[in-house]
A = this chain, B = another copy of it.
């Protein structure tokens, strides 16, 4: 496990994160002064439902899952935060509480900006606000996609897509699943058992190859794409 060599987390945020792209040097320095940073160990919660949502979180390093809990106790994964992603848009528009949970999947560095500071920053830095609108626009599109897929296509199809996307994201045909199957299951709106079965089934059909427990190889991307 690589040790975090330096405590440059604030600068990391500012540099790494897409919403701060294209800002002037001076603006970036201002941002850096407003940011506070936190470290979370794997398994710790960045926030839980009911917490006051009064700041924007930016993931400087690591990985975290964001999920909601339904009334019946079932989890629904909403997204995986990767380095450079942010969350807490709920924080931006009103005094409200989080309705979701965020849990670190590995050791993770997070930067925070308070709602107040961030709103002020947007007023003073239109580029930032525009970047923010763009980022949220993408987020909306991604969520619409997720909603549509979950309700219109089969688990097998959703899993196939997930494998393809993961593979594409890592730019490898042989890749390690970044999530536990339990989490993949709630992400795809299904159960671990079903994931297990479908992976076996896809392997039997020769579309993927199981290398190790959570390492897979895409053998036939075209057929995976065609699953209804």
Contacts and interface: CB of A to CB of B under 8 A. Distances in A.
Copies of the chain in the assembly: 2
A147 interface: yes
Nearest to A90: B141
A146 B151 CA distance: 11
Given A122-B129, A122-B130, A153 B89 contact: no
Nearest to A87: B140
Contact of A143 (B93, B147, B228): B147
Helix, strand, loop or mixed for chain A's interface? helix
A76 B148 contact: yes
Given A119-B130, A122-B126, A123-B130, A140 B136 contact: yes
B129 A76 contact: no
Interface string A181-207: 000000001000000000000000000
A126 B68 CA distance: 32
A221 interface: no
B143 A89 contact: no
A140 B53 CA distance: 15
A108 to B, nearest CB: 21
A105 B144 CA distance: 21
Given A72-B228, A78-B144, A189 B151 contact: yes
15 contacts: A71-B153, A89-B141, A90-B141, A92-B133, A92-B137, A93-B133, A122-B130, A125-B126, A133-B136, A139-B140, A143-B143, A143-B144, A143-B147, A146-B147, A150-B150
Given A123-B130, A126-B129, 10 more contacts: A68-B145, A70-B148, A70-B153, A71-B153, A72-B153, A76-B148, A76-B152, A93-B137, A122-B126, A139-B140
